[in-house]
Chains A and B, each alone.
Chain A
Amino acid sequence: NAGVTQTPKFQVLKTGQSMTLQCAQDMNHEYMSWYRQDPGMGLRLIHYSVGAGITDQGEVPNGYNVSRSTTEDFPLRLLSAAPSQTSVYFCASRPTAFTEAFFGQGTRLTVV
C-alpha cells in the first residue's frame, strides 16, 4: 500500500532555478494539498485541490504553481527558486473534508 508518494526526498537548487515536486496517491482521494513546514510556523497551506481540474490558493501561494489533471497526481512547481523557499514540503490527501489527511514523507528543499 503506497499511500502518498512524494519525490524527491531531498533537493538543492540554485536561486532562480525551477523545479517540480511530485506527489501521487493511490487511494482515490479527491482532496489533495501542499504544505510547507518552517520552524516555529507549523504547516502552512500553499495550494489545495478538491478534485481533478480544481485548484485554489492557500495561505502562502506566491512563487508556486499547481495543476490537477488526474485524481492521483498533484505536482507543485517552483517557478524561480528563492532562498525564502528553503523548507520542508508535504503533500497530503484525504477522501473528503473532515476526514483524516494522509501525508507523504516530505521533501527537504534547500535554495542556495
Chain B
Amino acid sequence: AQTVTQSQPEMSVQEAETVTLSCTYDTSESNYYLFWYKQPPSRQMILVIRQEAYKQQNATENRFSVNFQKAAKSFSLKISDSQLGDTAMYFCAFDSIQGAQKLVFGQGTRLTINP
C-alpha cells in the first residue's frame, strides 16, 4: 500500500519569509499524481498545487512551488513571501491507478505565519 509521510508536525515562520514543507512517499509505480492541500482554521480543504509524476518540470502556482524528486520519492512545498493567510494545516496526498485510485494523505504539517 502506498504511504505518505510528513515529518514536520509543526512549523512557524515570520511573515514574508520563505518556508519549505517536506513530504515523502512510498510506491513502486511510475505513473502517479501528487497534491498539496491546505486546511485553514475554517476547516475547508483547498487544493494548493498538483504534480504529475511523468512531468520533469516542477509545478508552480503563484507563491507556491514544489520540488519533486522522483528518484528520492520526495515532494516538498515551498511557500515564498509567506502571508498571514497562509497559516493552516498542509497535507500532502498521493494518487495512482494501482492504488485503486484512492487519494492517500499524509499526517499534515501545521504552519503558523507570525506577524
Contacts and interface: CB of A to CB of B under 8 A. Distances in A.
Tell whether A pairs with B: yes
Interface of A: 31, 33, 35, 40-45, 48, 50, 56, 58, 88, 90, 92, 94, 97-98, 100-101, 103, 105-106
Interface size on B, as a range, is 20 to 34
Contact of B102 (A42, A58, A88, A105): A58
Contacts of B102: 33, 45, 48, 58
Nearest to A45: B102
A78 to B, nearest CB: 20
B97 interface: yes
A88 B39 CA distance: 13
Contact of A97 (B47, B52, B95, B105): B95
B11 interface: no
A7 B52 CA distance: 34
Nearest to A58: B102
Contact of B47 (A40, A90, A101, A105): A101
Given A50-B101, A98-B95, A42 B108 contact: yes
Contacts of B44: 103, 105
Contacts of B45: 90, 92, 101, 103
A92 B103 contact: yes
A35 B91 CA distance: 13
Interface in B1-25: 4, 6, 9
19 contacts: A31-B101, A33-B102, A33-B103, A40-B9, A42-B4, A42-B105, A43-B105, A45-B103, A45-B104, A48-B102, A50-B101, A92-B45, A97-B101, A98-B52, A100-B50, A101-B45, A101-B47, A101-B103, A103-B44
B67 to A, nearest CB: 21
